[in-house]
Amino acid sequence: MGYRTLLRDHRSVLGIAFLAMFSSSLGQSFFIGLFQAPISQHLGLSVGQFGTAYAVVTLVAGFCMLRFGPSIDWISPRRFAITILLCLVAGVALLTLTPWWLFGVIGLGIVRLCGQGMLTHLGNTLAAREFTTLRGRAMGLASLGMPLGEALLPPLVAIALVWMSWQSFWWLFCVAIALPWLGFIAFAPWAKAPGVKPTQRSTSGPRPFRDKYFWQLLPLLMSLPITMTGLFIYQAQLTQALDSSLGVYAFALTGMGIAKLPGALLGGRWIDKIGPVRLARYYLLPYAGAMLFALLIGGNISVWAVMVGGGLAMGAQELIASGLLIRLWGVEHLGRVRSALSASMVFSTGIAPAVLGIALDAGVTFHAILIGMLGFIIAAWALAQGVLRIAKTHSIP
């Protein structure tokens, strides 16, 4: 069965998962970063204060993911989606309407939690749990919502801000995504609650943070988002170290978004054919190879290589992660284990810019940081080989 047949027979669940991934753009770093200056001015915060507030709310959102993310294992997806969307609107209202900086920062935290955190969690979990033999392709189709947002929203923001305030654009975007959400909530068939809430949380289901296999797998799955976050935040230092320019980086960023599309579609097909374990061994090769190329060659082409290589790997990242978690701990516990993974990624991507900033202030060159990133990727790959061998043969009880 190909993608066309999958869309024809399962368009409702795929549409919901795709819309959740696209709607998560509202809380993603790339979207909020487009409004950093006007948000800081609105809340009366300096650039440094905004960065600190952003890191704090990101870390708090990660802890909240650990608390509320597993509920998708026993709450119906429809109820879960309605709750998250209502909270998201409340967060947007606090951020855009309040004149007090504290409530604005709280609103920003709610937007981060519900956008980047919970809506991504909903889309990935729904696509992974509702399919079996076609799981890879389904996750690939659903994941296209995120690169679509990355490709469409930046130019739309640049055009719209000429004619309207940033608050108006946020509410316009909320209205735009609310219309399809209302249609799905009112008319689409939704999956039932997958299970019953456990009565003894201490003894029921996996406990990822007490599982050595989870810790062995975690660096592999975090190496890409951690290093790419560093490249996004310190793009000026990256282009300077590679003897390129920010203009080239901007075009290469578009190339990264385009590269995510074949990464997701081909990744979904390959997961169905060869499984997530074998793909997990190789999916970082384009990114690691591009980083090595950049270190050796430099120049404009190296920036393109890193961005496109990262885009190919990022397109397949979530598909492989969900596939591995299901293979190791079972689909019935996917919400709990994915919550631990999502929270870990939120923590790490919130801390990574601060760590890199300290290193740069200490005089470490960005060329040396790139070498460290490549070393981290290789070490994470080596650490995960043991648990990947286990995942190839059986699941973890």
- Three-class DSSP labels, 233-302: HCHHHHHHHCCCCHHHHHHHHHHHHHHHHHHHHHHHHHHHHHCHHHHHHHCCHHHHHHHHHHHHHCCHHH
Query: Are residues 172 and 211 part of one domain?
Result: no
Write the CATH number for 301: 1.20.1250.20
Tokens of 320: 């492989």
**pLDDT per residue over 90-111, tens digit each?**
999 999 998 889 999 999 999 9
Query: Are residues 214 and 161 part of one domain?
Result: no
Residues of the chain with pLDDT under 70: 1-2, 47, 194-205, 394-397
- pLDDT for position 202: 46
Using CA atoms, how far residue 82 sits from 114, 119, 138, 231, in Å, is: 11, 11, 22, 35
Alpha carbons 45 and 119: distance in angstroms, whole number: 28
- pLDDT for position 369: 92
Query: Are residues 176 and 296 part of one domain?
Result: no
Query: Are residues 188 and 211 part of one domain?
Result: no
Alpha carbons 280 and 91: distance in angstroms, whole number: 36
**pLDDT per residue over 197-254, tens digit each?**
665 544 556 788 888 889 999 999 999 988 988 887 788 888 899 999 888 887 887 7
Asked if residue 324 belongs to a domain, the reply is yes
- pLDDT for position 397: 44
Query: Are residues 387 and 283 part of one domain?
Result: yes
Using CA atoms, how far residue 199 sits from 37, 77, 202, 339, in Å, is: 47, 20, 9, 19
Domain with 213 in it: 207-397
Which stretches of the chain are assigned E, i.e. beta strand? none
Alpha carbons 250 and 236: distance in angstroms, whole number: 11
Query: Are residues 371 and 310 part of one domain?
Result: yes
Query: Are residues 284 and 135 part of one domain?
Result: no
Query: Are residues 154 and 246 part of one domain?
Result: no
- pLDDT for position 390: 85
Spatial contact of 370 and 111, defined as CB atoms under 8 Å apart: no
Alpha carbons 17 and 13: distance in angstroms, whole number: 6
Spatial contact of 143 and 264, defined as CB atoms under 8 Å apart: yes
